[in-house]
Amino acid sequence: MEELTFAAALADLASMAPEIWQACRETALMLAVGLAAAIALGGPLGIVLYLSQPGQLFANRWVNGLLGWTVNLVRSFPFIILMVSLVPLTRLIVGSTIGPVAAAVPLSFAAIPYFARLVEQTLREIPRGVVEAAEAMGASPMQIIVKVLLNEARSGLISSLTILTISFLSYSAVAGVVGGGGIGDLAIRYGYYRFQTDVMVAMVLLLVLIVQIIQFAGNRLASRLDKR
Amino acid sequence: MIHLQNIRKRFRRPDGGWFDAVCDTSLSIGAGEVFGLIGFSGAGKSTLLRLINLLERPDGGAVIVAGQDLTALDAKALRRARQQLGMVFQQFNLMANRTVAGNIAFPLEIAGWSAADIASRVAECLEIVGLADRAAHYPAQLSGGQKQRVGIARALAPRPKVILADEPTSALDPKTTQSILDCLKDINQRFGVTVVIVTHEMHVVRSICHRAAVLDAGSVVEVVEVNGAEVDARSALARSLLEAA
């Protein structure tokens, strides 16, 4: 193996630019699908979890217990095991078990209950009196959810989404190794299996940068939306 | 305007027993009246108030507001009836992420008013409570007294027949208390809105109520007439509340 100088590493990375770009796009795709599923399905699930709690609008011990138990069940799977267990389902939905779209299936599966819990927790911070005031004014349950709960919790929800995005950036690296592609996969294939430490370091730095950007953007947006 | 007929409400205590918050109570409140519900802590006065708009559903009895038995309504009809019943809270319960104008607009949005009607009504209500220059502020930027004015404007916005006020001045200092009471009194006189006000302060009763029910252990002990500072009280409890003030 040739001696690793900074210049050589840069040249090496420059020659890999198309592959790195491809890896970024794959990671972005996995994240986008996972987050979309989390928002579309995990969000409503979190709202139902919150509303079915004792003392809330639709207090129902059975619904709350069953949903809570299911959420805990999925969340207790180590991600890599969840991924392997979901292979048949992934094949059924996507028709293949490799590629970023296939990896997005277990990612979504893990992201939904994760986000549901984050939403539930965020909604709990809204003072009960504010919801009660809306009830007293004759607001319907749907109006309470949209105009009161989601609006009052909006900055907390953005913070939750930021946490979710960063967690799942890391999960997507795991999914990538099992055939999903992406930045983590590139780091392992070149950096680890082919001893190209420069690629490993560059990919880790890239991830550090992405995480910082996501967190910064999330904080900015959350504080702009927060009028409390 | 409001008739409570043989209302009962009990709550489950943490130890598994029952707590009778309101036991077999009847009460009539006339249109345009400012009616006080007064008593010591735990006397059932807040529960009684919350029974009027069915925030608490009674275990028995009828709640008749403007000729309509609220307990007999389905969820949708109850929501419509509630739009005629404004409510003001001790802790204000404003929406932190809505501006002052946005908070006052909320009950109108719910009732399906057009944007133009909402804008003019919100401006009108801001004027009534003296906060016209605070429309674009958020609740966090207001003092306690100003927040309660927003609360009152919000309750008033849909032109309700009744405003229910649950200890509206208990979180405020004496000077602010008086200005809030004046505001409620003004609304009662100008618009003929019936006001039911829960309080533990005799001072509040003296300054705005026409009549007041003295409550103890979930029952009405006495309904007293109030003529300015004169309160014609017979029961020992009413007298002790008078002296406490």
- Any idea what the CATH number is for the domain that residue A166 is in? 1.10.3720.10
Domain annotation covers residue A15: yes
Nearest CA-CA distance, residue B80 and chain A, Å: 6
Nearest CA-CA distance, residue B82 and chain A, Å: 5
The strand order across the sheet containing B219-227 reads B85-88, B162-166, B194-199, B34-38, B211-216, B219-227, B230-232
Q: What pLDDT is stored for residue B201 in this prediction?
A: 85
End-to-end Cα spacing for chain A: 59
Q: What tokens does A202 get?
A: 């560059």
Q: Looking at the DSSP assignment, which residues form a beta bridge with residue B9?
A: B22
- Please list every residue in chain B whose beta carbon sits closer than 8 Å to the beta carbon of residue A57: none
Identify the burial level of A215 via C-beta atoms within 10 angstroms of its C-beta, where 0-12 means exposed, 13-18 middle and 19 or more buried: middle
Identify the burial level of A64 via C-beta atoms within 10 angstroms of its C-beta, where 0-12 means exposed, 13-18 middle and 19 or more buried: buried
Distance (Å, whole) CA B157 – CA B153: 6
- Residue B223 is inside which H or E element, if any? strand B219-227
On the question of pLDDT at B132 being above 90, the answer is yes
Domain annotation covers residue A117: yes
Domain annotation covers residue A1: no
Distance (Å, whole) CA B54 – CA B71: 8
Domain annotation covers residue A98: yes
Identify the burial level of B189 via C-beta atoms within 10 angstroms of its C-beta, where 0-12 means exposed, 13-18 middle and 19 or more buried: exposed
| Range among A42-56, A182-196, B209-223 rated most confident | A42-56
Looking up tokens 């809306």 gives A134
Q: What pLDDT is stored for residue B229 in this prediction?
A: 67
Distances (CA, A) of B73 to A56, B8, B145, B173: 21, 18, 36, 40
What average pLDDT does the structure give for chain B?
A: 91
pLDDT band at B79 (very low <50, low <70, confident <90, very high): very high
Q: What pLDDT is stored for residue A194 in this prediction?
A: 86
Residue A135 in contact with partner chain B when CB distance is under 8 A: yes
Q: What tokens does B111 get?
A: 């009732």
Q: What tokens does B86 get?
A: 């404004």
Residue type, A47: I
**Phi-psi map region of B194: left, alpha, beta (phi>0 left; psi -120 to 50 alpha):** beta
pLDDT band at B244 (very low <50, low <70, confident <90, very high): low
ipTM value greater than 0.85: yes
Domain, as residue range, for A157:
6-225
Of B93, B138, B139, the CB nearest to A129: B93
Q: Are B7 and B47 in contact (CB under 8 A)?
A: no
Q: Which of B185, B224, B228 is nearest to B203 (CA)?
A: B228
Q: What tokens does A12 get?
A: 């090496």
Q: What pLDDT is stored for residue B93 in this prediction?
A: 96
CB count within 10 Å of CB A141 equals 14
- Please list every residue in chain A whose beta carbon sits closer than 8 Å to the beta carbon of residue B81: 138
On the question of pLDDT at A1 being above 80, the answer is no
Percentage of chain A with pLDDT > 70? 98
Q: What pLDDT is stored for residue A3 in this prediction?
A: 60
| Range among A55-64, B10-19, B136-145, B214-223 rated most confident | B136-145
Q: What pLDDT is stored for residue A2 in this prediction?
A: 55
Q: What pLDDT is stored for residue A7 in this prediction?
A: 84
Query: Which residues are within 8 A (CB) of A159 and not within 5 positions of it... i.e. 6 or more apart?
Result: A122, A218, A219, A222
Q: What tokens does A67 get?
A: 């949903």
- Tell me which of A116-120, B37-41, B78-82, B130-134 is least confident: B37-41
Domain annotation covers residue A24: yes
Domain annotation covers residue A180: yes
On the question of pLDDT at B160 being above 80, the answer is yes
Task: Tell me the angle at which helices A100-124 and A17-37 cross, rounded to the nearest 10 degrees.
Answer: 50
- Please list every residue in chain B whose beta carbon sits closer than 8 Å to the beta carbon of residue A152: 95-97
Distance (Å, whole) CA A77 – CA A84: 11
Could you read off the pLDDT of B168-211 as tens digits, one per residue?
999 899 889 999 999 999 999 999 999 999 998 888 888 899 99
Q: Domains (ranges, CATH) in chain B?
A: 2-84+161-244 (3.40.50.300), 94-159 (no CATH)
Length of chain B: 245
A16-38 CB burial, b ≥16 within 10 A, e <16 = beeebeebeebbbbbbebbbebb
Domain annotation covers residue A81: yes
pLDDT band at A57 (very low <50, low <70, confident <90, very high): confident
Domain annotation covers residue A111: yes
- Please list every residue in chain B whose beta carbon sits closer than 8 Å to the beta carbon of residue A129: 89, 91, 93
Considering only alpha carbons, which residue of chain B is nearest residue A130?
B93
Residue B93 in contact with partner chain A when CB distance is under 8 A: yes
Q: Are A200 and A189 in contact (CB under 8 A)?
A: no
Residue A221 in contact with partner chain B when CB distance is under 8 A: no
Distance (Å, whole) CA A83 – CA A174: 9
CB count within 10 Å of CB A3 equals 5
The tally of domains found in chain A comes to 1
- Please list every residue in chain B whose beta carbon sits closer than 8 Å to the beta carbon of residue A137: 82-83, 86-87, 106-107, 110, 154, 158
Distances (CA, A) of B114 to B53, B102, B109: 26, 14, 8
Q: What pLDDT is stored for residue A66 in this prediction?
A: 96
Distance (Å, whole) CA B214 – CA A105: 64
